[in-house]
Amino acid sequence: MTEKKREPGFTVTDRRLFTEDGELRKEVGEESEKKAAPSPAAKESAAAERGGASEKSVASFPAAGDVGDAPAPPTAAEQKAQADAYNASSKELDSRVEMSGRSAKEFEMTFERFLASLYMTAMLQLGLMHQQGEQPRVAIIGARQTIDTISLLAEKTKGNLTPTEENFLQNSLYEVRMAYVEVTNALARPPQPGAATGTGGR
């Protein structure tokens, strides 16, 4: 029986550090464990190079500008192959959406839609909006990170936005910052007498 020849192709390597659920991938954890147990000689050498700095935690994120432990970026050929595969899958999904009677344009990601999702997230985290049937919940640290993300976008996209996008961004940032200040001020304010029972008098 003749052995089937393997057709030439490309290999896709998953370089993501985390799964879709935000967990550290098993392969990354195993690789990190191997790296985390160097020989005594290697430990001494590494300590000398770092000036005696303590070893990094496996699960910690690299500090800004520290790319020593980051995986090498994909090659141009790998990026092109991945982009082509992604575009082919997207076209197939678009055709299925169109067959269902809806327009694929409804699901296209635009800058305004991306900002709107961040805006809604911040408002949910501030407890000013909530899912239907649920009680409002405040996640002040999460809200601050979301607002800082919008602020970072404003800084990094300066000069690259249309007037409409810039206006939408500045209005969104202003509103979520103002809401954040109001909520944090309310949380810091001591409870008023009788507020818990709803009675102001006897």
Which tokens belong to 92?
């197939």
Give mean pLDDT, residues 183-188.
91
Which tokens belong to 48?
């000398």
The per-residue pLDDT of the chain, averaged, comes to 76
Matching residue, tokens 């141009």: 76
> Which residues are within 8 A (CB) of 115 and not within 5 positions of it... i.e. 6 or more apart?
150, 153, 168, 169, 172
CA distance 96 to 101: 9
Q: Can you give the pLDDT at residue 196?
A: 53
* 155-185 per-position pLDDT tens digit: 999 999 999 999 999 999 999 999 999 999 9
Q: Can you give the pLDDT at residue 47?
A: 46
The domain ranges of the chain are 109-188
Which tokens belong to 122?
């911040």
β-strand partners of 24: 18
